[in-house]
A and B are shown apart, each in its own frame.
Chain A
Amino acid sequence: MSTHFFADTSILLGRSMRHIFRSMDTIITTAITPIALMLLFVYVFGGAIRTDTENYVNYLLPGIMLIAIASGIAYTAVRLFTDMQSGIFERFQSMPIARSSVLWAHVLTSLVANGLSLVIIVLVALLMGFRTSANVLDWLAVAGILALFTLALTWIAIIAGLSAKSVDGAGGFSYPLIFLPFISSAFVPTETMPGPVRWFAENQPVTSIVNTIQDLFAQRPVGGDIWVALAWCLGILIVSYAFAAATYKRQIA
């Protein structure tokens, strides 16, 4: 009595990808706010910000990408919430399919959708003068870290989508996540911040991820930051996955 986890997940992934391609607005809106921030910081504030890179776009891009991911995962929560409301979630759950594939399809959709938004953002950054000497391996490392970060936050979105009482609640949980990069090394080096703020900025997940990606783009040795970044991403992933699984169990209890 086996189910077809991979086949079912890919069938359901195809379904949500259709949703995305039929309303590209979710990809565009995910990309637009980070791009606006990037324009604002590069062309308005950037002149007054001193970083040790020759080019402020190079410094800024990693943080902008994290903001894009933090806002993009809100759509995953909304899509899942909509499925629960419409009853189609229950239809899938009452069918002889691998039940977890319903959630995994949403998670993979989040990876693809955020990936597309990031491609748009990188293209705009290139137009604004972003340059990197990173080779294929460096790019793969950057993609891997971003994918892991997306995966970790998406499982938080799954918790929100499963337990929300309204669409606004399903989407609203992401605001604090979007705000985190502002209190990190994403926009300005942490050295200029007053004591407690600096301590927070240097010990929250975004800074280590931003530093790692900045180093990879600049072809600098990545140092210990990459391990801190990976530990944060894996830690958030494991905890949020466990909570999502528990939330799901409570739904059918």
Chain B
Amino acid sequence: MMAAPAIRVEGIQKSYKDLHVLRGVDFEVEPGSIFALLGSNGAGKTTMVKILSTLLKADAGSASVESFDVASESLRVRQSISLTGQFAAVDEVLTGKENLVLVAKLRHVKNPGGIADDLLAQFSLTEAGSRKVATYSGGMRRRLDIAMSLIGNPKVIFLDEPTTGLDPEARLEVWQIVKNLAKQGTTVLLTTQYLDEAEQLADRIAILHEGRIIANGTLAELKQLLPPAKVEYVEKQPSLEDIFLALVGTGTNESVKDRS
């Protein structure tokens, strides 16, 4: 690795009372890559993300984002990151546009209104922009949520289970957004419990299990951990997801816009 890692985690431990959630986690994330932290519910993924986004303090170990220590240089870290938490962190009482303007003002960027309009357009929310977020669908909330995270062009974005609770179409939209982010050079750390999500998006995958990283590599490297593939002939049946997406006409923005 030539460049300094965008995220470096060394020996991080964290307990809640008697519950030892993280037992010494190590990993590094290359700048501009998508890194997936894969694990089942309760594996400690959210705890790890909270430590990296300076919302929680680790008990032991060290972590840095963009070479800033999360404990001692937390303000610098917060200037480099954006967090999209497990539940869409949007203000229900405000409209979509007001939510974006709010974040833009708090980040002290120039022309908050213009930035809000651009993002609404980019995320197919222009028409919904003047409506209260309380009327939005789950997919629209998540898109607004991610749009709010992009304001101020953070170098690193944390996405904590970005597609949990979304329908298949909305899920594909989020995947597209994440891929575009990485294309523009943003480092993305995403947590997921969906294996196919990690497979689709991530440059590297780390499996967090019982508070430790038990595997870390590219998909190809992880595949080599298992005995070589044997060739079997299986009739290819369409999955229910294939059928659902074929029937409803996948990914067209029109159908998304009409939904409310």
Contact = CB atoms under 8 A, between A and B. Distances in A.
A192 interface: no
B87 interface: yes
A95 B103 contact: yes
Contacts of B54: 93-94, 252
Nearest to A23: B93
Contact of B83 (A8, A18, A91, A252): A91
A196 interface: no
Nearest to B85: A87
Interface residues of A, number: 25
B131 interface: no
Question: Which of B56, B93, B98 is the most central at the interface, judged by chain A CB atoms within 10 Å of its CB?
Answer: B93
A1 to B, nearest CB: 6
A22 B93 contact: yes
Contact of B90 (A1, A22, A88): A88
Interface in A1-41: 1, 3-4, 7-8, 11-12, 15, 18-19, 22-23
Nearest to A20: B93
Contacts of B148: 91
Contacts, number: 69
Contacts of B81: 94
A90 B82 CA distance: 11
B79 interface: yes
Contact of B108 (A7, A12, A19, A253): A7
Contact of A97 (B82, B91, B106): B106
A131 to B, nearest CB: 40
B242 interface: no
Contact of B105 (A3, A11, A18, A96): A11
B20 interface: no
A92 B83 CA distance: 9
A4 B108 contact: yes
Given A1-B75, A18-B98, A86-B92, A93 B55 contact: yes
B79 A96 contact: yes
Interface residues of B, number: 31
A87 B133 CA distance: 14
Contact of B94 (A11, A15, A90, A93): A15
Interface string B102-131: 110111100000000000000000000000
B85 A18 contact: no
A98 to B, nearest CB: 10
Interface string B48-74: 001001111100000000000000000
A198 B98 CA distance: 53
A30 to B, nearest CB: 18
Given A7-B108, A93-B55, A94-B54, A88 B89 contact: yes
A207 to B, nearest CB: 39
5 contacts: A11-B105, A93-B55, A94-B55, A94-B82, A96-B79
Interface of B: 50, 53-57, 75-76, 78-79, 81-83, 85-94, 98, 102-103, 105-108, 148
